[in-house]
Amino acid sequence: MREFTATELEAYLRETGNKPLLLDVREPWEFDKASIEGSTLIPMRQISEHTHEFDSEDEIVVICHHGIRSRVVCHFLENEGFTNVINLAGGVNAWAREVDPHMPTY
């Protein structure tokens, strides 16, 4: 499993023009408080119900609050045959501190 820091992900998105699926696995109330633009919310508890919606070869960046739940989801996706998953280390908390200081924190 690959990992990006918040600044690495921001640079990757900006410089490469790649459009990976930004998969936010937090709860809806968390997503409503703060989210990375363009991300898709599917709470961690619902991931297994939605894996059929994704291509197992697509690049997927998994996001949560601090990077713990997203790491678990990355491992789950890899076990399901997904080959290109990336964990956002530090989650949206790191994104708010390092990339977007206007993003609310909680």
Query: Could you read off the pLDDT of 48-105 as tens digits, one per residue?
Result: 999 999 999 999 999 999 999 999 999 999 999 999 999 999 999 999 999 999 999 9
Q: Does 106 fall in a domain?
A: no
Number of domains in the chain: 1
What is the sign, positive or negative, of the torsion defined by CA atoms of 1, 39, 13, 11? negative
Tokens 């998953």 sit on residue: 85
For 11-36, the pLDDT digits (tens) are 999 998 779 999 999 999 999 999 99
Sign for the CA dihedral angle at 32, 41, 8, 69 comes to positive
Residue 103 lies in a domain: no
Number of other residues whose CB lies within 10 A of the CB of residue 71: 19
88 CB burial (10 A radius; 0-12, 13-18, 19+): buried
CA-to-CA separations, 13 to 6, 33, 49, 78, in angstroms, rounded: 11, 22, 28, 22
Q: Note if 64 is an active site residue.
A: yes
In a domain, 85, yes or no: yes
Provide the 8-state DSSP code for 39: -
Query: 75: domain CATH number?
Result: 3.40.250.10
Residue ranges making up the domain that contains 9: 2-98
Q: Annotated catalytic residue: which of 13, 22, 64, 74?
A: 64
Q: Is 82 exposed, middle or buried (0-12, 13-18, 19+ CB in 10 A)?
A: buried
What is residue 18's predicted lDDT score, i.e. its pLDDT? 78
